[in-house]
Homo-oligomer: A and B are copies of this chain.
């Protein structure tokens, strides 16, 4: 039995996006462990496809020194009261100017469960159309990249973002997605 009990947490810094600190736990055998933790509000990612393209973006990722990271459309869960699906619908419009007739949750996962509680909800969006009402985020430096699906392996080779790799490998590994 590995069920553990949370004894408490010491918050060391509370930012606008993340909080960081140390959590303390006790196991049934009375062992106590302390772990550094980063609290994060969570995020959504969207595998947006039509027959010809998977819709990707290139954007700067300052934290890793990358000026044009190839990624799926995505965004943080930073709007009060918004569900993951609602956030995904909003981000698809803001980032690539599309809406989708079909939405399906493919997976939810933790980006790095050893130290962070960031959870990503990954959706498949298909039956795409232009979203005339979409308002691009001010100040975001996002390039829309319609990537030909017959060159999917090249996208997997270029991509260095975990959530986007999961989406691209999901597409590669699931022939059924090819037909929608």
Binding site for B on A (CB under 8 A): 1-4, 6, 12-13, 15-18, 20, 22-23, 25, 27, 31, 33, 35-38, 40, 43, 59-69, 76, 107-120, 139, 141, 159-163, 165-166, 169-170, 172-173
* Interface contact A63-B115, CB-CB below 8 Å: yes
Task: List the B side residues contacting A18 at CB < 8 Å.
Answer: 20, 36, 38, 115
List, sorted by A's number, 29 A–B pairs whose CB atoms are closer than 8 Å.
A2-B59, A4-B60, A4-B67, A6-B65, A12-B20, A13-B20, A16-B36, A18-B36, A18-B38, A20-B38, A31-B139, A37-B62, A38-B116, A63-B114, A64-B113, A64-B117, A107-B165, A109-B162, A110-B160, A110-B162, A111-B112, A112-B116, A113-B160, A120-B162, A162-B162, A162-B163, A166-B166, A172-B173, A173-B173
